[in-house]
Structure 1
Amino acid sequence: VCYEFTRVVGKHLKEFFEALDRFSPNLMDLFRKKRGLSGQLLTDCQTKTTEPTDIRCLRLQGLPVVLGDDPSAFFHNRLG
């Protein structure tokens, strides 16, 4: 997974997660300040949790909302 991420993105997965962790508090502030429909969609991303994996997932799920994209079309889950 790490090799494929590096091949596609051009950055190590560990560096990506470190940056995401570093910017998480700023993303939370941004999510809290949003109003209207965007604010409603970001409510789920403000869940109180201390699990790093959950925090990362929630922040990534909120990015398309902040950027004005359709969150349902932004991510594709590949299970199975």
Structure 2
Amino acid sequence: MQDNPGFEGFVRDKYTALPETGEGIPGTEFTALWRYSYESISSIPQKPFYFNERSLDVKKVLMEAFFGPPKEGVYSPSVQSTLVQEGCS
């Protein structure tokens, strides 16, 4: 789990009311979408549960990037920053 997500390094303008802080929210939820790319219908794998396995692989990569190592975690200046690093928006 992230050790200490922050809320800092964001764009400030005349409407910004919140101060920056190194302490952020203790929990986050996000949704990720991806597409499978195949050159033709015949190139789609016929193996049962292939897409379930790939889905679990993607989830594992996203979780590792978002939370970091289980015992140490990873600091993020903001949830938005971490999601941008993962390629999510």
Q: Name the TM-score class by shorter chain.
A: 0.3 to 0.5
- When normalised by structure 1's length, the TM-score is 0.34
- When normalised by structure 2's length, the TM-score is 0.32
- Structure whose CA Rg is larger: 2
